[in-house]
Amino acid sequence: MSTLAVTGGAPVRATPFPQWPIHDRREVDAVVEVIESGRWGGNFMNDSGYKSDELAARFAAFHDARYGIPATNGTVTMEVALRAAGVGVGDEVIVPPISWIATASAPLSLGAVPVFADVDPQTGSLDPAAAEAAITDRTRAMIPVHLGGRPVDLDGLLDVAKRHNLIVIEDAAHAHGSQWRGRGIGSWGDFGSFSFQMTKVMTSGEGGMLTTNNQRFAETCMALVNCGRIPPGSSLTESPWGWNYRLPELQAALLLAQFSRLEELTALRADNAAHLDRCLRELDGPAQPLPPDPRITRQAYYYFSLRYQAERCGGLPRKRFIQAVQAEGIPLGAGNPVIYKNPLFRPTAATSAVVAGLVGRGLDLAAVHCPNAERLAGETGMGLSQHVLLGSHADVEDVVAAIEKVTKHADSLAVPL
C-alpha cells in the first residue's frame, strides 16, 4: 500500500461505513399507528394523548430539563426562544462565527442583530472572553453552540451571562444526549434548542425541540408555536402573536422510535470515538483530536473534530490532505465555514428588504474579523461525520490507517491534485 489511492493505488477502505439514519420496525410501526389513528397533525387544540407531548416530556427529562416544547425545526426553536425572552428589534445577540447560519439568522428574523465573537482556537466553540468583550449596552442574549456535540465552556459563558444579565440559548442542534458535569445539555442556559434534521443523531427528517427549566418561558413558547393559543392551566393572561410551528404527529412518532435507541447509539459512538482518539494520539500525526475536558461527562459526537497540523505532513495544504484521505475511502471533511463569509448570509437583490437593511445598518460584515474562527475554517478544522462512529473499532482503525498512509507518502502529492 505504498501508492496513494489519489495517485492510482488501492484505497485503504472500499467498504462503506454504516448508513444513516438507522431504523427498524419501531419507526414503521410508530408511523402506521399514527396513520391509522387519523390524527396526523400537531396538537393545535391542546388535547391529551398526543405523541408530540409524550416526546417532549421524555426528551426534556433525559436532558434534565423540566419542560420540552416540540416544533417544526431547530431554526424556529431559536426564534421562539428569543421572542419568549423578549429579544426584539435593535437588540444584540452574541453568536459564534462557526456554526450553521441559523444561529445568526434567528436573531435577524426578529429584527435583532447577531454580533460575532471569536472562538476558542482548539475547540472552535464560543470563547467566554471574546463573548464578554463583545457585550454592549444593547446586548440581551448569547447563543453558544455545542459544536459537533462537544459541550461548549458552559462554566465560563454562564458566568459571563450572569454578570451581565444575559439570556443564554444553548444551540444544541448537534448535542442530543451530551452532558456537562453530569447534567444534560439544554438544561444549563435559559433554553436549549435541538434539531431533528436528517443528519442529526436523532432524526425525523426535520423537526426541533426547545428545553427550559423556566415555567413562564415554557408557557410562552408553547403559545408561540401554536399560533398564540394559551396552553391549559397556563399563567399567561393574554395570547402572544405566534406562529404555526407545531410538530406533526407523524414526525413525533418517528422521534419516539429514534429516542428509544438514542442512549445506545450515543454510547456506541462514544466508545468508537474514544478508540479513534487513542489511536490518533499514538500515531501523533497531522490529524490531532481535540484536547480532553473532564467537565464533559457525555458527548454526542455529531461529528468527530480534528485539527490539521500541516507541519507534520511536509507542509501539505489541508485541502490536498483531505482529498487524499477521501480517496482512501474515508469521508473526512473540512468542517463549517465562518457564517459571515457564507454566501447564504450575504444580502443580495433576492434577500428581503428587511433583512438586507438590518445587515447593512446593524452588522457591517466587511468589518467582522474573528481570526481564530477564520484559521479553523480555512486551514486547520477537519471532521468525520457521526456515521463513521456507528460501526466497530476496526472501522475507525481504517481512518487511522488512511491518515498514516497519506502522511507517509505526502511527498508524492507535491504535484497539485
Q: What's the number of CA atoms in the CB half-sphere (13 Å) around residue 246?
A: 20
Give 378's contacts (C-beta < 8 A, 6+ positions apart): none
Strand 208-212 and strand 191-195: the pairing is: antiparallel
Instruction: Decide: 135 and 86 in contact? Cβ < 8 Å.
Output: no
Helix (H) or strand (E) holding 135: none
CA distance 287 to 306: 6
CA distance 202 to 311: 38
CA distance 310 to 290: 16
Instruction: Decide: 106 and 84 in contact? Cβ < 8 Å.
Output: no
Residue of 51, 162, 200, 341 marked active site: 200
Phi, psi of 195 (to 5 degrees): -120, 145
Q: Is 194 strand, coil or helix?
A: strand
| C-alpha angle 269-274-280 in degrees, rounded to nearest 5 | 120
Is residue 200 annotated as part of the catalytic site, yes or no? yes
Tell me which residue of 229, 226, 230, 233 sits closest to 210, measured CA to CA.
Answer: 226
316: Cα separation from own chain's centroid: 29
What nine digits make up the cell of 326?
A: 477521501
What nine digits make up the cell of 163?
A: 454578570
Give the number of residues written for the chain: 417
Burial class (CB in 10 A: 0-12, 13-18, 19+), 332: buried
Terminal CA-to-CA distance of the chain, rounded, Å?
19
User: Hey, which residues are catalytic here?
Assistant: 200
